[in-house]
Amino acid sequence: MESEEFLNARKLLDKTQKEVAELLGVSIKAVHSYEQGWRKIPSHVERQIFFLLSRTRSSDKTLKSCWTIKNCPPQRRKNCPAWEFQAGKLCWFINGTICECKSQENWQEKIKICRSCEVLADLL
């Protein structure tokens, strides 16, 4: 996540730097540094920002699950944590999901795929 995207997310959440710092469990100075581009935004902060943005969507009932959108075969669904926990609208949030036919090694690899996926795009 880049600094401009972080700033836009904070504005979409309609939060001050202090309020978003409290939500993320970081200092106001850290939020300021993220927005100015002085500090890299940690994975856990990026993940939480996406989660908070996803919860602001009023059309959550109209969103489809990832396995429906991606037309996943039953065997892949069976091995995927998103299916196991019936979290197809939050698949981008769960580690170990089987995206692009394999589980991703880390958050950076996973979010790179998720950013180009309509499941996350529909939420934001």
Q: Look at residue 41 and give its three-state secondary structure.
A: coil
pLDDT one digit per residue (tens) for the chain, 124 residues: 899 999 999 999 999 999 999 999 999 999 999 999 999 999 999 999 988 988 886 555 667 888 888 888 998 888 899 999 998 888 888 888 888 777 777 888 888 888 888 887 766 6
For residue 2, how many other CB atoms are within 10 A of its CB? 11
In order of their start, the domains of the chain are 3-55 (1.10.260.40), 60-123 (no CATH)
CA 38 from centroid of its chain's CA atoms: 22
Where does 1-117 have alpha helices with state H? 3-12, 17-24, 28-36, 43-55, 66-69, 74-78, 81-84, 107-115
